[in-house]
Amino acid sequence: MESVDICNQSLIALGQSTITTLSDENENARRCNALYETVRNDLLCKHPWNFAIKRATLVDMTTLAVDLWVTDTAYVVDDEVSYLGVHYTCLIAHTSDVFTVDLTAVKWETTTDWVTATSYALGTKIYYSGACYSCVTVHTSGVWATDLAAVKWITTVDPEYDYTYAYRIPTDNLRVLSNEEEEEIKIEGGILYTDATSMKVKYIAKITDPDEFDPAFVTALVTALAAALALAITNNRNITADMKAEAKEKKIEALGVDAQGGGTPDEPECDDWINVR
């Protein structure tokens, strides 16, 4: 099954002609293309469907802690400091003066410990040109720019206040449901902040392959998409209202099926569709 097949079932439910692809040059294809992912993700996000739940150990992306550079301080070779967010390594033992003067005198260099042709494990932290990075893909390093463009490394984050650690949210995450440590967490800008020294989470994943959907979810998605398309396609508020009511019923049916297929029940998740019944 493909996304276009789901769209076609929605169009058929509205008495419309089917399409060949979502890139077809006609209004129905353009409408389906505009709404399909939004409706799918909304449906996925609002309930912890068994097929969409994943678990992951998150990559720590907290910037390595080093002392801030200060003037009139004795530094020795290999001391590391941070100045205006950039990390530096001491090259010459000295007592600091004005940082720009010391830098011009080559008493400091931007810290770089990344090397090519090296095996890096998930979560490894390195410096490159004074910036700190976390490894998010197990790999053997090649050319830095190429590896960075391939998202094998991500820039680390300084939580600054409230929390101690920052963790990378999985790229397919729609909603974090819980964490194994049962620690307080805060998710902002795609980053999970916490005081926990490690973080394992259960989350709802953005499943894009329709072959991974449960059959009942497919039916719920077909009717939800039809309800979203109905007014624009039919210009009939009665049909639209009927389709919305059917979409609600099909989702409730899908929730019932999902509840029977997940093993030992988890603690119930809040679900607006259930609460309004």
Q: Which of 62-76, 111-125, 182-196, 258-272 has the lowest mean pLDDT?
A: 258-272
> How would residue 271 be classed by pLDDT, with cut points 50, 70 and 90?
low
What are the tens digits of pLDDT across the range 212-241? 999 999 999 999 999 999 999 988 999 999
Beta-bridge partners for 60: 167
The pTM of this model reads 0.81
Amino acid identity of residue 134, one-letter, is S
All residues at 6 or more sequence positions from 72 whose CB lies less than 8 Å from its CB, including other chains: 95, 96, 97
What are the tens digits of pLDDT across the range 8-44? 999 999 999 999 999 998 999 999 999 999 999 999 9
Q: Which of 39-43, 65-69, 179-183 has the lowest mean pLDDT?
A: 179-183
> How would residue 161 be classed by pLDDT, with cut points 50, 70 and 90?
confident
In a 13 Å sphere around the CA of 191, the CA atoms on its Cβ side amount to 17
Q: Give the CA dihedral 199, 200, 201, 206, nearest 10 degrees.
A: 100
As a whole number, the mean pLDDT across the chain is 92
Domains of the chain: which residue ranges? 3-49+214-264, 56-61+158-203
What is the secondary structure of 123-174 as a DSSP string? Answer: T-EEEETTEEEEE-S-EE---HHHHHHTTSEEE-B---SS-SEEEEPPTTEE
Q: Tell me how far CA of residue 157 lies from CA of 11, 64, 203, 212, in angstroms.
A: 46, 9, 22, 34
